[in-house]
Amino acid sequence: MKKPLQEEPIMSGQLVLETDYVQLLITGKIPDPELSIEFPAKKLETTLTWDDLILAEKTKREIEELEIWLKHNQTLSEKHDNRKKFKPGYTALFYGPPGTGKTLTASLLGKYTGKPVYRIDLSVAVSKFIGETEKNLSKLFDRARYKEWILFFDEADAIFGKRTQVRDAHDKYANQEVSYLLQRLEEHPGLVILASNFKSNIDAAFTRRFQSIIHYTTPDYISRLKLWQNSLPNKLSFSKEVDLSLMAKTYDITGANINNVMHYCCLQALNNKTSKITHSNIIKGLKREYLKEDKMF
C-alpha cells in the first residue's frame, strides 16, 4: 500500500501489486530479478558439484554446519517454537586469499539446498550520496526477507569495513551506514555470507555477531594435486611428460590459478588440433598466472 496523501485516512493509500506477483499472474512464474539500482545483486549459479570444491577438512566441516542450518532452521523455529530463543537468521564470514573457493561455496550451498544465491554488486549498491547506500540495501533486504535467498557480499570490506574516527560529516555518515547494516543483519531471517581476503578488515562489531567464521587457506600439496587431477576436461588428456605430482609440489597456487592454467592449455590444444595437454603449455599458463600477481616465476 502506498502512503496516503496528507490528512487522508491511514488506510486510504493506493494498493499496488508487487512486480513479482504481477509477473506470476501474467506468465505463471516469477522471473529472476535483474541487476539494477533497484536490485543491486545478481544471481549466482554453478554447474560444479561438492566434489569439485577441494578444501581443508576443517573448512569442509564448518561449511557442513551452514548446510545443516539451511536445511533445518525453519523446522527448529516453527515446530519447536524457538523464535524467541534464537536469532532469526544466520551470518557467516568467509575469509582467505582470492581463488580459494569462497564464491563457489556460496553457489554450492544454494544449489544443494534449493535456495537462490544473490551476489551483491557493491559498485551498484554503494553510493557517494548520503543515505543512498542504506536506501539501496534496504530494498535488497526487504525483497529477500521472505524468499529464502542467500545473500553473498563479495569483497565485503568495502562496506563492512572498520569504522573510523569521526573527523568530518563523511566519516559520520559512513559510520551510520555500518550501524544500519548491523541492524539489518540482526533482523534478517535468512543466510547472509560476507567474503573478504582478510578477517582483520571487517569491523569488530560484525565479527562478534557472526555465527560462523570460516578460514579458506591456500591449498596444500595434497589439495593441489587433487585440483590438478580434477581440472582435466572430458575428451582431453595430459601428455606423458606431464607430472602432476611435481606440479603440485613445485607451484604454490590456488584452485582458481589452476583453473586459469587449464583454460589456457585447452585453448592451445584446440588451436593446435590436438587432444593433449602438454607440459610446455602448462608452464606457459603458470607463468601467465605468476605475472598477473607480480610474482617471480
pLDDT at residue 9 in the model:
67
Q: What does the pLDDT average to over 239-245?
A: 97
pLDDT at residue 10 in the model:
61
- Percent of the chain past pLDDT 70, that is, above it, reads 82
pLDDT band at 83 (very low <50, low <70, confident <90, very high): low
Residue 162 clears pLDDT 90, i.e. is over it? no
Residue 4 clears pLDDT 70, i.e. is over it? no
pTM: 0.84
What is the spatial distance between Cα 19 and Cα 21, in angstroms, rounded to a whole number?
A: 5
Q: What does the pLDDT average to over 107-128?
A: 91
For the chain, what is the mean pLDDT? 86
Encode pLDDT of 22-48 as tens digits: 665 676 666 778 888 778 899 999 999
The residue length of the chain stands at 297
Encode pLDDT of 166-195 as tens digits: 454 454 555 677 778 888 888 899 999 999
* Span of 37-51, 79-93, 196-210, 254-268 with lowest mean pLDDT: 79-93
- For residue 34, give the C-alpha cell: 535483474
Q: What does the pLDDT average to over 39-64?
A: 95
pLDDT at residue 168 in the model:
47
- For residue 170, give the C-alpha cell: 563523511
Task: Name the residue with higher pLDDT: 124 or 1.
Answer: 124
First to last CA, the chain: 62
Encode pLDDT of 251-285 as tens digits: 999 999 999 999 999 999 999 999 999 999 999 99
Domains and CATH numbers, the chain: 34-215 (3.40.50.300), 221-293 (1.10.8.60)
